[in-house]
A and B are shown apart, each in its own frame.
Chain A
Amino acid sequence: MAVTNYALYTGCIIPLRYPDIENSIRETMPLLGANVYDMVGAGCCPPGGAFWSVDEISGLIQSARNISIAEFMEKDLVAVCNGCFCYLKNTNMMLKSDKEKREKVNTILNNVGRKYQGTISVYHLVEILHDHIGIEKIKNSIKLNLDGVKAAVHYGCHLLRPSDHLMAENPEKPHKLDALVEALGLESVYYPKKLSCCGAGGGMRGNNPEVTLKILEKKLMNIKYSEPDCIVTACPFCFLQFDLGQKGLREKGEDFCIPVFYYNQLLGLSMGLPKNRIAVLSETPRDGFIKKYYGVE
């Protein structure tokens, strides 16, 4: 099996709030011929809502610092969060083409002994799984097929948009995550406004807990329309919004309790990896789903 090596950029939410998702990525990818290596010292991407929203250069230098770590490793960077992917890829595109900005960034990075060179590519995990590894290999890697189980696929905003920069998917008709979910045997069901926001980003979740839940509730009403058995995403912030947000809505007396999975958690369970390392942490219960369809406690 051909092996490819990547620099794994974990971000903040996965390593520090859902490390079981990190385990699921670390354990599934090598089984598909994609080795992932730690980016030692990598910091926050940083997010659009804070640094980018007040001063472009402060966003650029922190992103460029992260990219320079992968450059030093001589490996392409794989982001496992939509927000990280969007801002790191955006930075990479901008600095590769804009000499003036690149020089400005490098003058500052030089003070900490780092340099942005523009020698690597930034990918989203979905691109690695779909474009580099391929559906066939994934189909061949699983031990248990979840035939007939219905999944509501949520892409999230920053995997798709702005498409001119990200170029990961067709922004109005994406298909890669659907194809990946269907490779595990599940049926990816239609639901209205599938490409709409989960309501977490831009600082909304921190600043406006009421509004964030309102937007999520609309999203969930549309999802419920298709009566799925689970929600699948490849962004930890969307995952968190569905996981904690449904809990928040339940506390207000609403009836939302759809199990949520990060894609590699489902993939790992389908490969027969132990649940207690890869799918443990959630506020919206998933054990019933896992027991029913995977037969493990």
Chain B
Amino acid sequence: MPWHAAASPIEIPRAPIDRETESALQLGRYVPLFGWGATEDEARRVVALVSRAWSTEADPGAIDCLSVMLLHPTLGTRPMAYLSEAIQSGSAPATWGKVALAAAGLLGAGDALRAEFGEPMLDCPALRPDALRTVAVGGAERYTFPEGFARLCAAEKELAGTRDAEAFTALRAWFELVLARRWSAHDTLREIRLESLPAADAWLVSAGLFLVGDDGAKGRMTEYASLALEGLQTVAPRALPTLARELAELVAQPWARRWDHLRCAAAKDHAAAAVRAWLSAALYETHEEGTEHETLGPEMTRAAKEARALVGGFLLDWFVQDREARSRVDHWAGDVLRIYHRLHGASMLGSALDEVIG
């Protein structure tokens, strides 16, 4: 008997999708992931569901159907909250939480759904870095890249000194290079040793470097994507060709993408840098016009404060006036982030498989 027969056929999307399944999903007549509680059987059921959705004989719509099953209209995020509590109390292993997060990523859940699903896992110390990736790396869905960037910056600060610090620096730098067109982030990404990063993170860095035309970046993308998908071949055989097709689309027009990125970089408000240069020069101006007055404090004029407040934000660098080029880069970034979450989910699931299904 195949191992994924552990899942009851009533609870998983049928192949092909029929009207009965569709109406069951619309009416909430399904058990969401970990809806039966934080049990081993439930962890196996989640793996089975994912496996069934990605199997070669599955309906193409099965992945979307299973994405709906991440949450339930009535229960909301409660199953995930219970799972999080069980992991924190030690009654469930952290691997089960990993399986849940992996499912959300691998299925290609949108930003909002993925964030809602992953939020309860932020309370588990063992899962926090992965939950932060699930919640914070996004913004393509509603063009909330600045919010995603702000969350990433906070995460990077929080994880400073841990073994995940470098990975979050890389993620933040990717946002800065691709979406804010900051070349200092290009230096950061080039300095990072890709071998020290998880495969999905290394793939994302390679994608950023591919965009700006770095030699060999395309090859590294393929290499790290294969590494992330390793171990998933037997469980989700359809994942590899699907992702290969998406990856091919991503790298299809390197000249056009690089040109769009450069157009955005050229359209940035470069004059804004001047305000910072002038004001920092002003602070070094300590020589007074005479000695009869008390030394001035570092406080600036209101005009200077207001001028400085206008510059330096991610929003200013991202939201450039060249709308056409910005929109194309944003779409590309959205596709990259969706694949990133698939790869991250795949590598998480691959690492948890042994423990869950033995």
User: Do A and B bind?
Assistant: no
Give B contacts to A, CB under 8 Å: none
Chain A residues with CB under 8 Å of chain B are none
